[in-house]
C-alpha cells in the first residue's frame, strides 16, 4: 500500500480502534509509512495479528490489544496496556463501528438499532473519554472520530446508522469545545461511497434487498445508481480516507478543531 510522504509523524504514536478492519488497516499503513508507531485495538485478534505482520516492513513500533469499545472497562484496560508499552499516545483514530441492517423505518429491528448505538455512539464516547484523559496528561494531541456522510444526509433504509453518525458529529463538535483549552483537537471524518471492499459490497446487496423506491433489486444496478449520485462518478478509496485522517492529525491542520471532513466525491 502506497502512502504519501506529505505528513511526517516520526516519534509519534497513533491508536486506532477498529484496527483490524479495512479503514483501520489503511490508516495503520498510512501512519506507519510516515514514521508513526501504531497501536491497534479490535475484538478480532486474528485479523489484528495479520495487520501487525503487514506493518513490519515499516520498521516502526506496533502493538495490538483486544478491546470491546462498548465496555468502558475494556477501553480503559486497552489504553492502560497501550500506554504501558508506548508511554505516550499522540493521536487517536476513533474508528470502530458497525453498519447495521438495512430496513425501512417501521421494520427496523429494535435489537439491531440498540447494537448500532452501543458500538457507534456509546463506544465512540468510551474511546473519546479515555483519549481525552490520556491526551490531557501528556499536554495535548489530536482525535479523529469516524463519522459518515450518513450523518450529514441520512440515507434511506439505514435509520440506526444515520442516527449514530449524526451523534458522532455532534459529539465531535461539543468535545472540540470542551477539550480545546487542553490543546486537544477533535475532528470527524465522513466518508461516503468507499470501495471496493466488504462494506461496499454489503451495502449494495442489502439496499437491493430492501425493496425501496430508491434502489433497484439488482445489486449491480444499485452499484451504478450509487456511483451515478456522486459528482466525480467514482468510489473513494481506502487510501483517500486514510489521507483525510492523516491531514486532520497533521501540523498542517493545527488550527482545525470541531470540523467534519465530508469525503463525498463532490456532493
Instruction: List residues with catalytic annotation.
Output: 161
- What DSSP string describes 141-182? EEEEEE--GGGTSPPTTBHHHHHHHHHHHHHHHHHHHHHGGG
How distant, in Å, are the alpha carbons of 76, 80, 122, 240 from that of 71?
9, 14, 9, 31
| Residue 233 near residue 161 (C-beta atoms within 8 A) | no
DSSP state, residue 103:
B
8 A C-beta contact, residue 90 and residue 102: no
Q: Strands across the sheet with 62-66, in order?
A: 62-66, 37-42, 13-17, 91-94, 141-146, 184-191, 260-263
- For residue 10 the three cell numbers come to 516520526
Amino acid at each position: 500500500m502506497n502512502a504519501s510522504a506529505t505528513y511526517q509523524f516520526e516519534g509519534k504514536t497513533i491508536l486506532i480502534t477498529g484496527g483490524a478492519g479495512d479503514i483501520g488497516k489503511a490508516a495503520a499503513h498510512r501512519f506507519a509509512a510516515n514514521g508513526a508507531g501504531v497501536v491497534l485495538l479490535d475484538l478480532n485478534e486474528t485479523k489484528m495479528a495479520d495487520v501487525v505482520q503487514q506493518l513490519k516492513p515499516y520498521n516502526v513500533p506496533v502493538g495490538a490489544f483486544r478491546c470491546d469499545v462498548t465496555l468502558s472497562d475494556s477501553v480503559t484496560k486497552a489504553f492502560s496496556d497501550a500506554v504501558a508499552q508506548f508511554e505516550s499516545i499522540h493521536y487517536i483514530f476513533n474508528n470502530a463501528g458497525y453498519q447495521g441492517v438495512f430496513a425501512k423505518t417501521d421494520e427496523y429491528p429494535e435489537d439491531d438499532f440498540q447494537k448500532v448505538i452501543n458500538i457507534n455512539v456509546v463506544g465512540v464516547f468510551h474511546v473519546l473519554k479515555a483519549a481525552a484523559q490520556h491526551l490531557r496528561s501528556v499536554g495535548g494531541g489530536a482525535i479523529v472520530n469516524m463519522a459518515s456522510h450518513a450523518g450529514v444526509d441520512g440515507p434511506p433504509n439505514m435509520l440506526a446508522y444515520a442516527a449514530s453518525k449524526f451523534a458522532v458529529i455532534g459529539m465531535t463538535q461539543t468535545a472540540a469545545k470542551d477539550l480545546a483549552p487542553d490543546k486537544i483537537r477533535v475532528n470527524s471524518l465522513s466518508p461516503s461511497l468507499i470501495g471496493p471492499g466488504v462494506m461496499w459490497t454489503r451495502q449494495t446487496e442489502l439496499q437491493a434487498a430492501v425493496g425501496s423506491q430508491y434502489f433497484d433489486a439488482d445489486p449491480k444496478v444499485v452499484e451504478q445508481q450509487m456511483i451515478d449520485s456522486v459528482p466525480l462518478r467514482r468510489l473513494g478509496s481506502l487510501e483517500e480516507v486514510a489521507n483525510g485522517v492523516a491531514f486532520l492529525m497533521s501540523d498542517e491542520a493545527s488550527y482545525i478543531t470541531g470540523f467534519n471532513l465530508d469525503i463525498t466525491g463532490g456532493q
